[in-house]
Amino acid sequence: MPTEAHKPGPHQSQSDPNQLDERAFVARVFRHESDAVAKLAETLDGRYTKAVDLICACADAGGTVLVSGLGKSGWIGSKISATMASLGLPSHAVHPTEAAHGDLGRFRKSDLAVCLSHSGETEEVVALASILRQDGIPIVAITRGSGDGREPSALERVATVTLPTLVTDEAGDGDFMAPTSSTTATLAVGDALALAGARRRSFTKADFHRRHPGGQLGGLLRPVTDLLRFKAGDNLPMIHESMSVQDALGEAAKVVRRPGALVIIDDAGTLAGIFTDSDLRRLVLRDANELGQPISSVMTREPRTLSETALARDAAQMFREHRADEIPVVDDAGKPVGLLDVQDLIAMRLVTDDA
């Protein structure tokens, strides 16, 4: 008999039929929502090109993409708007009810409205779209669509272009009416428009970084040269491959705080190898007399390097994949410009000691 302390609790049994059924239900929810997004890819047509045309024309003219929806669609719209703004497409979310009480003043002739309504009949959204259409402002509508014999919705009739999500029922085995698959599909449509618009306008990683200077994301997008504490010609001695290990150590001792590795160069000044503190410990433990041999005979040749144009995220990925504590940074000619220490990444919380 199991003791009281070892009796399985009501949520512990892995063979509980109720738990197995619940996991199967959750799996169906995931499949239902992923199927909704997959269907979008299968039914893609020229309406998306037209929508991206409108978004880029708006941005190029100095306009703003104003996204509006009510309820859950409003929250999805806010996220779509934020994504567009971060990708160089000026955008704001507008509450359709508030628009009728003064926020219509936000809309200009150069702007574009993206209106969200699954049914296409949300009264406040349709009213806003109708007014904007009269003012000559183009409208991209994201709705369920008019397939399966349905007549076009009120929002579709006033829209310049409609992008259908084609979702006819929500996840949850048909037992729930809460927007799930429909909001997932709507978000996917909005993300696709934002990314396609940014791509067409040649929005770059550098552009993205300028808009995200703070936090871990901003840190990952910083040039790796910004992180270098040890720089060639400054506090990072260049050790010629013909030097003995002992002489190389003496040269390295001339700097106040030396890095955890020596950077070795050849006659042309290009990177020939690297000699780490771990290499030195192994050498001394094996035979201290070997300190007199050329460092080229004990260094690591062709170490992994980073280009001086690399980003901090590239360094973080290299650390995670190869556990390299010191990474030489080189220019286009293969000449060292510095040495990146993993502690610099840890200090910025871009990696952890156990990552």
Residue 137 shares a structural domain with residue 191: yes
Same domain, 145 and 229: no
348, with CB counted inside 10 A (0-12, 13-18, 19+), is middle
pLDDT confidence tier of residue 319, bands split at 50, 70 and 90: confident
> What pLDDT does residue 209 have?
56
% the chain with pLDDT above 70 = 85
Residue 216 has pLDDT above 50, yes or no: no
Q: Is the pLDDT of residue 217 over 60?
A: no
Are 230 and 180 in a shared domain?
Answer: no
Q: Is the dihedral of CA 167, 82, 50, 142 positive or negative?
A: positive
Q: Is the pLDDT of residue 218 over 80?
A: no
Domain check: are 137 and 249 in the same one? Answer: no
The band of 252, judged by pLDDT with boundaries at 50, 70 and 90, is confident
pLDDT exceeds 50 at position 193: yes
Same domain, yes or no, for 93 and 176? yes
Residue 151 lies in a domain: yes
The helix (H) or strand (E) run that includes residue 341 is: strand 336-341
Does the pLDDT value for residue 106 go beyond 90?
Answer: no
Helices (H), 43-180: 46-60, 72-86, 96-99, 123-134, 154-158
Q: Of all helices (H) and strands (E), which one includes residue 142?
A: strand 139-143
Q: Is residue 332 part of a domain?
A: yes
Q: How many helices (H) and strands (E) does the chain have?
A: 13, 13
DSSP state of 150: P
> 112 lies in a domain?
yes
Condensed to tens digits (0 to 9), the pLDDT of residues 157-175 reads 999 999 999 998 899 887 7
| CA atoms of 67 and 56, how far apart (whole Å) | 15
- pLDDT tens figures, 135-145: 899 999 999 98
- Return d(Cα 169, Cα 177) in angstroms, integer: 8
Q: State which residues form the domain around 82.
A: 18-203
149 inside domain: yes
Which of 146, 173, 203 is where one domain is finished?
A: 203
- With cut-offs at 50, 70 and 90, classify the pLDDT of residue 259: confident
Q: Domain of 80: which CATH number?
A: 3.40.50.10490
Query: What is the C-alpha to C-alpha distance for residues 75 and 80, in angstroms, rounded to an integer?
Result: 9
- The answer to whether residue 208 is domain-embedded is no
Which of 203, 236, 266 is the last residue before a domain boundary? 203
For range 285-302, the mean pLDDT: 86
Determine what percent of the chain is predicted with pLDDT higher than 90.
Answer: 44
Laid out side by side, the sheet with 336-341 consists of 230-231, 336-341, 326-330, 306-307
- Rounded to an integer, what distance in angstroms lies between the CA atom of residue 63 and that of residue 280? 61
CA distance 134 to 107: 12
Shared-domain flag, residues 232 and 119: no
Which of residues 150, 171, 203 is at a domain's end? 203
Residues 96 and 192 in one domain: yes
Whether 348 shows a pLDDT value over 60: the answer reads no
3-state secondary structure of 317: helix
- Considering only the C-alpha atoms of the chain, give the largest distance between any 2 of them, rounded to a whole number of Å: 89
pLDDT digits (tens, 9 = 90+) for 39-97: 999 989 999 999 999 999 999 998 999 999 999 999 999 999 999 988 889 898 989 88
Q: Is 81 inside any structural domain?
A: yes
Q: Is residue 211 part of a domain?
A: no
Which region among 17-26, 228-237, 251-260, 343-352 has the lowest average model confidence (pLDDT)? 343-352
Query: CA 323, CA 207: separation in Å to the nearest integer?
Result: 30
Helix (H) or strand (E) holding 315: helix 312-322
Can you give the pLDDT at residue 14?
A: 54
Q: For residues 309-317, give the mean pLDDT.
A: 80
Q: Dihedral angle at the C-alpha atoms of 174, 175, 178, 184, nearest 10 degrees?
A: -40
How many independent structural domains does the chain possess?
A: 2
Cβ neighbours, 10 Å, residue 159: 24
pLDDT surpassing 70 at residue 352: no
Answer whether residue 1 is part of any domain: no
Mean pLDDT in residue range 300-306: 88
Asked if 67 and 104 sit in the same domain, the reply is yes
* Residue 111 confidence class, pLDDT cut points 50, 70, 90: very high
Residues 195 and 230 in one domain: no
Same domain, 61 and 126: yes
Domain containing residue 308: CATH number: 3.10.580.10
Based on the fold, state whether residues 169 and 83 are members of the same structural domain.
Answer: yes
* Residue 228 and residue 198 in one domain: no
